[in-house]
Amino acid sequence: METLLTKIQTLLSYDPQSPLIFSSGLFLYLFVGFLLGYWLLRKTTHLRILYVVAFSLYFYYKSSGLYFALLIMAATYDYLIGYSLYLTKGRTARKLLVTMSVVMNLAMLGYFKYTNFLFDLTNQLFGVGFLDFQNIFLPVGISFFVFQSMSYTIDIYRGNLRPLNSWFDYLFYLSFFPQLVAGPIVRASNFIPQIRRKPVVTREMLGSALFLILTGLFKKAIISDYIALNFVDRIFDEPLLYSGFECLMGIYGYALQIYCDFSGYSDMAIGLALLMGFHFPKNFDAPYRSATITEFWRRWHISLSSWLRDYLYISLGGNRKGRVRTYLNLLITMLLGGLWHGAAVRFILWGALHGIALAVHKMWLQVVPGAKTLGKDMNPVMRLLGTLFTFHLVCLGWLVFRADSMQTAGLMLHQIFSAFDASLIPQIIAGYSGAFLLLAIGYVLHAIPDRGDQWLRGAITNAPMGLQVAMMVLMIWLVMQVKSSDIQPFIYFQF
């Protein structure tokens, strides 16, 4: 009896050291139980919506504690503003309402994400202890649901969307647990029509969901977690203890780690939503196969890059106000995109690097004859060279993004260019055989053409049910074999 009560208490309590994530065994058990109830309620729309909202809030509570109330507050505020926008006809009044929504959302985001940074910066400028403060907890996924909520009110203001009549429907949209804490950033215009539709999961959808969940687990729990704990983190923690080759491989390793971690989450989120009859847009499309930086941003974190384009870049004027203004708009957009990731110089520099690169590429397209054929129409040699250049430019950005200080980034570059020592390569590969094997597997799988991905998806979709269950069991067993003693949170939980 005591053991049962302890288990119930664990289920109902929030542990900041162990947030609920998709790759944990607890989530698997909870989701299976949830899914059973969900399909039992599939014909009763109101109860189904209430049921999903309750589970989503519980999921967020297990991720961020009592800050689930913040999510409810944001949903209430923007639901009321969205409805008021629809009823209001005056241009000035409508502009005031949408401004209130944007300011409120940005103020909430700013308080939780940037207060610590500003207080710490003030203390550095005027002396330690000038301002006395305690670190403010960052609710998981706040950047994602704030952007979703803003897009809802902005779309209503622009006349692209009708507001929801039910507050519960809006809370359903904002809190839907598969994409709540790390995206994809789902547009209201795509998601809202699906809320009250009777859920249907075809055999093809079931197979696609299984494929996405399996690949997501493999990328996150096997490749990303293993190379992070056993190789990448060690290099970035003490770069001077490692050769230039190890530092270079550490950067390549982080490029693969963050891709597998984030795209793995997105794959699982899309797969879990499919099991409930919901369709999410693709969030990653083999970004390291890009031949230009512009193509990279069409393939990497697609929901964020398209959000920044539609709600920030275009609002700034896009490419409608001349070339110089276009370059400036690109730079501002990426600087703010970097700041969205966190209040730190490294994120701002990362955004600046990508903003400058995008502006330079845009300039190249405008001044070089024939340059507009770059991309899929490039000849194979030029595409290969472009892909190698773009990948290393992105890796330079990841170095700044990952390093805890610019000193660390400088030390790693120093080791690469002054202490490479190629004679140590065989010994290093042998010493980190597991990490290098997974690095090779990850990059080879990433390089496979789209038709290979489609073939594998089709093979899993068309496999007998027994074989599909066996594949899931095998994947869980593999995860258990390589996982560390602690479940590793997703990287983008901190954003």
The per-residue pLDDT for range 392-449, each reduced to its tens digit, is 999 999 999 999 888 999 999 999 999 888 888 999 999 999 999 999 999 999 998 8
Tokens of 172: 């359903």
Taking 70 as the threshold, does the pLDDT of residue 274 lie above it? yes
Separation in Å, CA 474 to CA 467, 479, 493:
10, 9, 27
Mean pLDDT score across all residues of the chain: 86
**Pairwise pLDDT comparison (447 vs 120), residue with the higher score:** 447
pLDDT confidence band for 295 (50 / 70 / 90): very high
Tokens of 469: 């269950």
Taking 60 as the threshold, does the pLDDT of residue 477 lie above it? yes
Residue type, 408: T
Q: Encode pLDDT of 191-244 as tens digits.
A: 999 999 988 888 888 888 988 988 998 898 889 989 998 999 999 999 999 999
Q: What integer pLDDT is reported at residue 484 of this predicted model?
A: 58
Taking 80 as the threshold, does the pLDDT of residue 29 lie above it? yes
Taking 60 as the threshold, does the pLDDT of residue 374 lie above it? no
Q: What integer pLDDT is reported at residue 132 of this predicted model?
A: 58
Q: What integer pLDDT is reported at residue 451 of this predicted model?
A: 86
Q: Widest CA span of the chain, in angstroms? A: 77
Q: What integer pLDDT is reported at residue 353 of this predicted model?
A: 95
Separation in Å, CA 272 to CA 206, 225, 258, 299, 461:
10, 21, 21, 22, 15
Contact 161, 189 (CB under 8 A): yes
Contact 92, 53 (CB under 8 A): no
Contact 252, 418 (CB under 8 A): no
Instruction: Respond yes or no: is residue 446 known to be catalytic.
Output: no
Taking 60 as the threshold, does the pLDDT of residue 479 lie above it? yes
- Whether the model pTM is above 0.75: yes
Taking 60 as the threshold, does the pLDDT of residue 160 lie above it? yes
Catalytic residue, chosen from 46, 279, 301, 341, is 341
Tokens of 111: 């308080």
pLDDT confidence band for 323 (50 / 70 / 90): confident
Separation in Å, CA 235 to CA 21, 74, 411:
26, 40, 11
